[in-house]
Amino acid sequence: MARTRYPDANARALSILLIGVQLAVSIIATYLVTLQTFSVAGCGDRCDYDLVTAAFRGTIIAASVALLGSIGVVVARSRQGLPSWWAPVAGMVLVMAAATLAVLLVRLGTA
């Protein structure tokens, strides 16, 4: 039976810190998209409410999937002794891209 290698404490601490940063980025991005959806109050019957709702929900889903995926990758790769700092960074990029797309879709839906 092969021994499991564990990454050093600094690598694990960096991965955990980046997951915390990813959580903060996800919360801020979702909050900003939520604020953007308030613009439906001023557009009356011209709004595409389905598009605005889909953009908002898509941001929440993307943030949740990215966070859970990052945690899964960090745990799995840490057990194998492999570096895993890139997973939360990729998750943050995914969340920022989803939030940017959501803001654009909300603007399109409220135009």
| Lookup: tokens for 5 | 């290698």
Q: Is 80 in contact with 6 (CB distance < 8 Å)?
A: no
The residue whose two tokens read 């980046």 is: 18
User: For residue 17, what pLDDT is reported?
Assistant: 95
Share of the chain above pLDDT 90, in %: 67
| Lookup: tokens for 1 | 């039976």
Confidence check: pLDDT of 7 > 80: no
User: Which one has a higher pLDDT value, 1 or 74?
Assistant: 74
CA torsion through residues 49, 50, 55, 59, sign: positive
User: For residue 2, what pLDDT is reported?
Assistant: 57
